[in-house]
Structure 1
Amino acid sequence: MALGQHVSSASSPRVIVAAVIVMAGRVLACQRSAPPEVAGRWEFPGGKVEPGETDAQALARECAEELGVRAEVGARVGPDVPLAHGRAVLRVFEVTLRDGDVPRALEHRAMRWLAVDELDSVPWLPADEPIVAELPALLAAERPA
């Protein structure tokens, strides 16, 4: 099975997928509104892979639900990040928005487009921090000429 084509099953750790959306050298960060213990922290949008979904299908669905956009799921960003004492894993992918779609904060308190020098200006969720560390090279590659 190709990378990004993982299908969730009951015997494997729960898979959480997240999107790194880069436009004009900036990455989209979303501020959690719930649950209370993480409200106000920042994350990459995404959510749980449901049984029978591939990682890409789940991420496209989550982008539609959370941001109101149509997403093209691309390459992986960073390694799997273990969550919940090994009971779950975070997988992050580059995402391109289709046909000029503009994200809206449908399920988040706020959104910001962060440049490379602004990545540390928000309090990230601990699970997203290893991915943030991967972003400077990605953002430099996407910066407009």
Structure 2
Amino acid sequence: MTTIAVAVVLRHGHALVGRRAADAIDAAGLDEFPGGKVEPGESPASAAARECLEEAGVAVRIDALLDRVASTSASGSLDILFFAATPLDDREEPLIPFAWVPIDELALLRFPPANARVLARLAQGGS
């Protein structure tokens, strides 16, 4: 089983969201929060922060574990940990394809099914 760490980064009523490449092996063309595989010897929280910086160019502080979901993909079984995160620099703009999306517009986007509980929590005003 592969462990995936995801950073759910919130700033002023917006969430940091990107779109996977159309030719990606898993979840091609779907929207996503920054995240990726946990490397050997790395904690999931550290992996979420690292992936956010690598993918989106946004340095974050990991605040709390939001959810843990077991899922499957074309790559196999996944253990996905979603972490609430806060940007360290409030003015920092993300790298393309990431952008700050209003939380109330997240329901209009296409996320993988494993994101459903986190998206529902955000829609209800939770973080």
Instruction: State the TM bucket, normalised to the shorter chain.
Output: 0.7 to 0.9
User: By how many angstroms is 1:91 displaced?
Assistant: 0.5
When residues 135 and 102 of structure 1 are mapped into structure 2, their CA distance, relative to the original with a 3 A threshold, is same
- Counterpart of 1:5 in structure 2 is none
Unaligned 5+ segments in structure 2 are none
Unaligned 5+ segments in structure 1 are 1-12, 140-145
Structure 1 residue aligned with 2:66, among 70, 77, 80? Answer: 77
How far, CA to CA, are the matches of 1:81 and 1:37 in structure 2?
A: 16
Q: Give 4+ residue runs of structure 1 displaced > 3 Å after superposition.
A: none
Structure 1 residue aligned with 2:46, among 33, 57, 63? Answer: 57
User: By how many angstroms is 1:90 displaced?
Assistant: 0.7
Structure 2 residue aligned with 1:113, among 79, 101, 111? Answer: 101
Contact 2:14/2:100 (CA < 8 Å) preserved in 1?
Answer: no
Structure 1 residue aligned with 2:86, among 96, 99, 122? Answer: 96
Matched pairs, number: 122
Q: Which amino acid aligns with 2:47?
A: A
When residues 112 and 128 of structure 1 are mapped into structure 2, their CA distance, relative to the original with a 3 A threshold, is same
What is the alpha-carbon root mean square deviation over aligned residues?
2.1
Which structure has the greater CA radius of gyration? Answer: 1
Name the SS of the counterpart of 1:134 in structure 2. Answer: helix
Q: Which has the higher strand share?
A: 2
Structure 2 residue aligned with 1:47, among 36, 40, 50? Answer: 36
- Counterpart of 2:118 in structure 1 is 131
User: By how many angstroms is 1:99 displaced?
Assistant: 2.6
